[in-house]
Chains A and B, each alone.
Chain A
Amino acid sequence: MALKRILMSLALASAPFVAPASAAQLTVGFSQIGSESGWRAAETTVSKSEASKRTVNLKIADAQQKQENQIKAIRSFVAQGVDAIFLAPVVSTGWDAVLKEAKQAKIPVILLDRDIDPSGKDLYLTAVTSDSVHEGEVAGDWLAKTVGDKACNIVELQGTVGASVATNRKKGFDTAIAKHANLKVVRSQTGDFTRAKGKEVMESFIKAEGGGKSICAVYAHNDDMMVGAIQAMKEAGLKPGKDILTVSIDAVPDIFKAMVAGEANATVELTPNMAGPALDALIAYKDKGTTPPKWIQTESKLYTSADNPQQAYDSKKGLGY
């Protein structure tokens, strides 16, 4: 009996050394914005799995879209003495004071998904974000390549007016097609990033463009609007994906479903995996003292119906989109 107990406690005590950790196990506090969209929920899920892959202890605080909650969360992480803080900032300003507190406590901060405007760039270690101008370019390049030399009238479903993502994705797309005289955006309206508005706006585009016959392609700033637009095309008796080409951004599961059905052509991924590159940079920084670049750009991967959309759908659908 006594021997057994001793053996057991030995086994328990040695357990940490069994894990393939680089050094001591890292604890990271992650101040997440909230769960305002499916993508955000997926980011949270992926962050958890990326952390457990690297046996990092990730503590997530949901700020429910409020900066004050994020500031509170960061202060509490500092008080707990975590090894690093991940921050997905809800706004770009007002972080100086709390980031200085983290700096004084010598806790590195890594920004995820969005950048901020601090007084000094030394307040954070690095920012892992995607380049939304580049996303637009990838979408535009795909369309230009697919259409070739044919004349093509494009209709565009913009994101919310004034949102930086919408402005950037428009800019990138415009830059890409500017090189091709045969591509022209004939109509552009906002669909507020939602399915319902995407559908409504697409309905009016179809009416305004002679029942949709003169439309060659739709570009939507996100997949949700495209899902709505695909319904609008189907209800108008058009065949999305064949009569009208579609390209959108985000790569949410439902767009892959549409691709499987042959109703969507392409999407550019906004990866929910921001934590993975951030953790790699952090571990390198802790172990080897490698200072990462100030900006780590995530890959904007293009998916088309040739890229096994069923598999993409299966891998994505469990992430919480």
Chain B
Amino acid sequence: MALALPRRGLAQIAALIVILLIDRMVSPQFFDLRLQDGRLFGSLIDVLNRGAPVALLALGMVLVIATRGIDLSVGAVMAISGAIAASLADSHAWPVAVAAALGAGLLCGLWNGFLVAILGIQPIVATLILMVAGRGIAQLITEGRIVTFTSPDIIWFGTGSLLGMPAPVVIVVGMLIVTGLVVRGSALGLLIEAAGGNARASELSGVGIRTMVVSVYVWCSLCAALAGIIAAADIMGADANNAGLWLELDAILAVVIGGTSLFGGRFSLVLAVCGALIIQAMNTGILLSGYPPEFNLVVKAAVVLVVLLLQSPRLSDLVANYRKARA
């Protein structure tokens, strides 16, 4: 129940299927799967695997956006957590490295939540601070180098597998279930939607908005920290300059494609993840197509535009009116 697809998800699911079919057209072996070293191997798996970091970011971001906020710092938090995990990976046991990286994410989330909920700074400004400063912090940790490591336990987070599925995919599914249970299994989901829909009314109904807002920013940063560990593990190194760079924008886009309004209120975790997969299916398709890279951004923009138009209530009104006029 917690993860039930809402009725309004049809546009996103349809978009994902259409993009996957287009991928199949540009690359005939798109749906081929084979087992390689006990791990499923194929373009479809690549979509899931490469989409994992953005899907994780979107899982946190969707909650923040549902409260009418936004978190621009997730890319920087990825860089910080990756840098910490990489620095500790070879000198400490893996639980220590992972806990330290997630702990850094927790602190980042508390900081953002403090600025937004307690000091009342606009979310876009408040999180901009960490977006800029966070990458600097990550560079301080790595001293501007790519810190590489060999700990197989940490590397598992990026390239390992469980039951044939790549570890990042397993982690995303796990986090989706955990987030779903936390949000829909408790009253948090309802209160987030109420506060996002009308903060004043919710406050006057006795909803403790501050605590709730702080907790969604913390959750968002934790998701980002986990994504940071995956990104570092994937390349067996922490690249503070590039890890998570601009991914906050992809995460926001994923949430919006998933049908959650930037004005807060109703949200869907599953559709946010679906949004991340739509973006990645498109990226992978472009890579497979063999078009010159100069077209990447144009193609991406066009597809996003189409997906968003499909969801636009005004467009469906126009289409309905047009049909009526023709009939």
A36 within 8 A of B: yes
B146 near A38 with CB under 8 A, answer yes
For the complex, what is the distance from the CA of A196 to the CA of B29, rounded to whole Å? 23
- Report the count of interface residues on B (CB-CB < 8 A): 34
- Asked whether any CB of chain B lies closer than 8 Å to the CB of A228, the reply is yes
- Tell me the smallest distance from the CB of A240 to a CB of chain B, in Å: 14
- Given A41-B144, A207-B43, A236-B41: A195 in contact with B292 (beta carbons within 8 A): no
Q: A193–B146 Cα gap in the complex (Å)? A: 13
Q: Complex Cα distance A197/B234, Å?
A: 11
Across the two chains, which residue of chain A brings its CB closest to B50? A200
Q: A287 within 8 Å of B by Cβ?
A: no
Residue B46 at the chain A interface, CB threshold 8 Å = yes
- Count, A-B residue pairs, CB within 8 A: 91
Question: A237 contacts the other chain (Cβ, under 8 Å)?
Answer: yes
- What distance in Å separates the Cβ of B283 from its nearest Cβ neighbour in chain A? 8
- B148 near A37 (CB under 8 angstroms)? no
CA gap between A236 and B36 in the complex, in Å: 7
Encode contact with B along A1-45: 1 for CB under 8 Å, 0 otherwise: 000000000000000000000000000000000011110110000
Indicate whether B131 reaches chain A with its CB closer than 8 angstroms: no
Given that A189-B287, A254-B148, A321-B145 are known contacts, is A228 also in contact with B235, CB under 8 Å in the complex?
A: yes
A199 to B290, CA, bound (A): 16
Q: By the criterion CB–CB under 8 Å, are B144 and A38 in contact?
A: yes
Are B290 and A195 touching (Cβ within 8 A)?
Answer: no
A180 at the binding interface (Cβ < 8 Å): no
Task: Give residues of chain A (202-216) contacting chain B, Cβ–Cβ below 8 Å.
Answer: 203-205, 207-208, 210
- The answer for the CA separation of A227 and B237 in the assembled complex, in Å, is 10
The CA-CA distance from A193 to B236 in the complex, in Å, is 16
Cβ < 8 Å to A, chain B residues 133-176:
139, 143-146, 148, 159
**Interchain CA distance A207-B290 in the complex, whole Å:** 12
Instruction: Report if A161 contacts B (CB, 8 A).
Output: yes
Find out whether the CB atom of A207 lies under 8 angstroms from the CB atom of B29: yes
Q: How far is the CB of A9 from chain B (nearest CB, A)?
A: 41
Q: Which residues of A contact B311 (CB under 8 A)?
A: none
* A192 at interface, CB cutoff 8 A: yes
Which residues of B in the span 217-247 have a Cβ within 8 Å of any Cβ on A?
A: 231, 234-237, 239, 241-243
- Name the 4 nearest CB pairs between A and B, nearest first: A204-B287, A190-B293, A35-B144, A195-B235
Task: Name 29 A/B residue pairs within 8 A (Cβ), A-sorted.
Answer: A37-B144, A41-B143, A41-B144, A41-B145, A187-B290, A190-B296, A195-B235, A195-B237, A195-B239, A196-B234, A196-B235, A196-B243, A203-B50, A204-B284, A204-B288, A207-B46, A208-B287, A208-B290, A227-B235, A227-B237, A231-B234, A231-B235, A235-B159, A237-B37, A254-B148, A320-B143, A320-B144, A321-B145, A321-B146
